[in-house]
Amino acid sequence: MDLTNKTILITGATDGIGKVLAEEFSKLGSNIILLGKNSSKLDKVYDQLENSFDSQKHLILEADLSLLNNESAHEILRAISNEYDALDGIIHNAAILGTMTPLEDYELSKWDEVLNINLRAPFLLTKTLKSIVENSTMPRIIFTSSGVANTGRAFWGAYSVSKFGLKGLAEIFTNELETTSSIKVFNFDPGATQTKMRASARPAEDPSSLKTPHELVNCYLWFFSRESCDSKVNYFEYDDLAKKVTST
């Protein structure tokens, strides 16, 4: 696939899966918009992005998604519009785990923070940036799911609730846009992966038994392929999509 000069926004781009996707997509010629809240980490990732093509142009957006509102979302839209004519894709990767505790003990402030970052921000960004995404010839919006989005599990609290909500959000956007827009919406569960969040959730787990973020790259690339244009499926789990990618 040709990703030369494709412009892709990645939230949570300073660590883990988001950082790896930013680096690998930039090697293929994409313009990467890095969105995160830590300026020093953003600068570091920006410096690592490859500029293989003269016209390649990357952008840093410093934003705290827990505080995102209509005004700041439109500021993000203006910042992107000032630099690019179209946004070819959004990868909603940013998320926080919150606390692993019974619901009756869950602190409201932490509950709100998790829901704001994991669910409210993807809704606001998608809603606000839809107009510039539709300027793309092959637009994509990718939400990041989780195994705890399908069945409620004790102690996963706000994180699980946010992923249940995100799954529904992706399905609603898919249904609403399929006959009115060229945007393809996908919801992807990357499964158990070596990330800081996974280590926090399962501290006793051996990280060497898990796949690395680099093993996810081909799955994310498939979402931007022409083959994905014909997909009637909105939701993918890693094992199924990895087999699909390997066979093509």
The predicted model gives 22-44 an average pLDDT of 96
What per-residue confidence (pLDDT) applies to 50? Answer: 79
Quick one: average pLDDT of 62-73?
98
pLDDT at 27 > cutoff 90:
yes
- Residue range 146-196, pLDDT digits in tens: 999 999 999 999 999 999 999 999 999 999 999 999 999 999 999 999 999
Q: What is the pLDDT of residue 205?
A: 93
Kindly report the pTM of this predicted structure. Answer: 0.96
Percent of the chain predicted with pLDDT > 90:
91
Of 192, 191, 242, 243, nearest to 217 by C-alpha is: 242
Q: What pLDDT sits at residue 148?
A: 94
Report which DSSP code applies to 170. Answer: H
pLDDT, tens digit (0-9, with 9 covering 90-100), for 189-235: 999 999 999 999 999 999 999 999 999 999 999 999 999 998 989 99
Give the pLDDT confidence score for residue 55 in this predicted structure: 78
Q: Would you say 86 and 135 are in contact if contact means Cβ atoms under 8 Å apart?
A: yes
**Residue 106 bears catalytic tag:** no
Asked whether 191 and 242 are in contact (CB, 8 A), the reply is no
Range 110-117 average pLDDT? 98
Q: Quick one: average pLDDT of 45-74?
A: 92
- The residue-averaged pLDDT of 21-44 equals 96
Sheet harboring 31-36: ordered strands across? 59-62, 31-36, 7-11, 89-92, 140-144, 184-189, 235-237
SS3 for 114-127 is HHHHHHHHHHHHHH
Q: Which residues contact 210 (CB under 8 A, 6 or more apart)?
A: 192, 193, 194, 198
Residue 247 scores a pLDDT above 80: no
Q: What is the phi/psi pair of residue 3, to 5°? A: -105, 15
pLDDT at residue 248, rounded to an integer: 62
pLDDT above 80 (res 86): yes
CA atoms of 61 and 36, how far apart (whole Å):
7
CB atoms within 10 A of CB 137: 8
Residue ranges of domains in the chain: 7-247
pLDDT of residue 157: 97
| Short-list 189, 194, 114, CA closest to 145 | 189
Q: Which of these is catalytic: 159, 220, 235, 238?
A: 159
Chain mean position to CA 182: 19
Indicate the average pLDDT of the chain: 95
CATH topology of domain 7-247: Rossmann fold (3.40.50)
